[in-house]
Amino acid sequence: MKAQWTTGLALVGVALVWGVAFVVMKPALEEQPLWDFIATRFSVAVAVMLLFRPQVVREISSRIAVRGTYLGIILAAAFLTQTIGLSFNTAATTGFVTGLYVVVVPLLSWLMFRVPIAGRVWAGVALAFGGLSLISINNFGFNLTQLWTLVGAILFALHYVVLARWSPGLSSYALTLVQLSVATAVAWVGALVDGYQPPAGLSTWLAIAYTGIFATALAYFVQTWAEARMDASRVAVILTLEVVFAAIVAVAVGQEVLALKTIFGGALIVLAMFVVEWPTRRPTVPHDV
């Protein structure tokens, strides 16, 4: 039970870091093109991981290399499609559609691996979806360009599900490094298509440092570690707290105005986390295949 809550709290920390990152990135993306920013951010993450633990290279087995490559490609494709969707739609709309992964994850878990989904997890998914809707939706209408974002949400969900299946028994650090290295290579392809533009000033470099070290290297390491111990559906519900933390920080720094629906939406997402993480007699741990 203690290990279950430790894993859950670690994921809450990831959601907090990602929520802050969303606010930090907003002004930085006005100074540097999106793909250039992502390529620089991921490069910093990979460099930091190698500097912090250079001996990890010896831990990269053929299994880690193959699985990390597939996971890195999925992650990069998710960022790509989400980015295309963001270029056509508002951040709020993109955030909501991307957040649909919380619904897709349990469906993919069952379709791909026949993982049974407990009733309390479905309840948590419903609560998180409701909270996400309250926080993100203002005047929402569907258009074809949002299909890019929807594909991104499905790819993020696929990454959650496959990572939960493949990470048990492997070095979380090594698997994270391979994933991020592959995603970095893909990001540089996107950045170099129309010429790389380096960060313009100190504030952009600070945003890159924060997102690269904390929101990429540390966060994806913790996610990889956690998914070896917790099923993907529960991870997805907890990580929807990112939207809550992003809203809190955005209000604190004056980017957004606090609305009553945001408070209710945040409360629903927090409740969803407690519903899926309430101690049970038989915690489930995904098995490798």
> Per residue in 110-132, pLDDT tens?
999 998 888 888 999 999 888 88
Cα separation, 196 vs 33, whole angstroms: 9
Q: What is the mean pLDDT of the chain?
A: 87
Complete DSSP assignment for 140-151: ----TTHHHHHH
Q: How far is CA 268 from CA 77, 128, 135, 213, in A?
A: 30, 6, 10, 30
**Looking at the chain, how many residues does it have?**
289
**Percentage of the residues of the chain whose pLDDT score is greater than 90:** 53
Which of 97-106, 197-206, 275-284 is least confident?
A: 275-284
What was the pLDDT predicted at 91?
63
| 142: confidence class by pLDDT, cuts 50, 70, 90 | low
pLDDT above 90: residue 53:
yes
What does the pLDDT read at residue 93? Answer: 65
pLDDT of residue 22: 80
Rounded CA separation 70/243 (Å): 27
* Cα distance between residue 166 and residue 158, in whole Å: 12
DSSP calls for 223-255: HHHHHTTS-HHHHHHHHTHHHHHHHHHHHHTTS
CB 63 within 8 A of CB 100: no
* pLDDT-based confidence at residue 266 (cuts at 50, 70, 90): confident
Return the domain boundaries, the chain: 2-277
> Residue 90 pLDDT more than 70?
no
Question: Residue 253 pLDDT more than 80?
Answer: yes
Q: Count Cα neighbours of 143 within 13 Å in the Cβ-side half-sphere.
A: 11
- The answer, yes or no, to whether residue 38 has pLDDT greater than 70, is yes
Look up residue 50 and give its two tokens: 């190698």
pLDDT above 70: percentage of residues in the chain: 89
At residue 51 the predicted structure's pLDDT band, cuts being 50, 70 and 90, is very high
> Is 90 exceeded by the pLDDT of residue 161?
yes
Q: Which one is predicted more confidently, 278 or 247?
A: 247
Nearest alpha carbon to residue 101 among 282, 261, 223, 259: 223
pTM here is: 0.87
pLDDT greater than 70 at residue 84: yes
Select the more confidently predicted residue: 21 or 176.
176
Share of the chain residues as helix, strand and coil, in percent rounded to the nearest 5: 80, 0, 20
